[in-house]
Amino acid sequence: MEGDQKPLALQLCPFSPAMEAEIGARFVIERWFERNEGEQADWLAENGARVRAVVTGGHIGCPSPLMEALPELAIIAINGVGFDKVDLTLASARGVAVTTTPGVLTDDVADLAIGLVVALLRRIPAADVHVRKGLWPKGDMALARKVSGKRFGVLGLGQIGMAIARRLEAFGPVAYCDAAPKSVDYAYHADPAALAAASDVLVVACAATPATQGLVDAGVLEALGADGYLVNVARGSVIDERALTRAVEEGVIAGAALDVFAREPHVPDALIASERTVLTPHVASGTVETRQAMADLVVANLDDFLAGSAPRTALPRP
Instruction: Report the interface residues with ligand 8YV, using CB under 6 A.
Output: 57-59, 79-82, 105, 282, 285
CB of residue 13 to ligand 8YV, shortest distance in Å: 6
Least separation in angstroms between residue 84's CB and ligand 8YV is: 8
Neighbour-count burial for 83-111, b at 16+ CB within 10 Å, e otherwise: bbbbbbeebeeeebbbbbbeebbbbbbbb
167 as an active site residue: the answer is no
* 3 state DSSP class of 279: strand
How many other C-beta atoms can be found within 10 angstroms of the C-beta atom of residue 115? 18
Please identify which of the residues 235, 241, 276, 291 carries the catalytic annotation: 235
Nearer to ligand 8YV, 85 or 150 (CB): 85
282 is known as an active-site residue: yes
Question: Which entry of 169, 264, 275, 289 is annotated as an active-site residue?
Answer: 264
Specify whether 20 is catalytic.
no
Neighbours of 3 (CB within 10 A): 7
CB of 44 closer than 8 Å to CB of 73: no
64 or 159: CB nearest ligand 8YV: 159
Measured from the CB of residue 278, what is the shortest distance to ligand 8YV in angstroms? 18
The residue nearest ligand 8YV at its CB is 58
Q: Are 203 and 188 in contact (CB under 8 A)?
A: no
Q: Which residue lies nearer to ligand 8YV by CB, 191 or 264?
A: 264
Cβ atoms of 58 and 81 within 8 Å: the answer is: yes
For ligand 8YV, give the closer residue by CB, 123 or 282: 282
- Decide whether 79 or 313 has the Cβ nearer to ligand 8YV: 79
From CA 281, how far away is CA 37, in angstroms rounded?
25
Among 52, 276, 282, 291, the one annotated catalytic? 282
Backbone angles phi, psi at 76, to 5 degrees: -115, 110
Which of 275-283's residues contact partners 24+ apart within 8 Å by CB, and which partners? 275/126, 276/248, 276/251, 277/248, 278/116, 278/119, 278/120, 278/124, 278/125, 280/112, 280/116, 282/59, 283/112, 283/259
Q: How far is the CB of 295 from ligand 8YV (least distance, A)?
A: 10
How far is it, in rounded angstroms, from Cα 32 to Cα 36?
9
To the nearest whole angstrom, how small is the minimum distance from the Cβ of residue 291 to ligand 8YV?
Answer: 8
Enumerate the active-site residues.
235, 264, 282
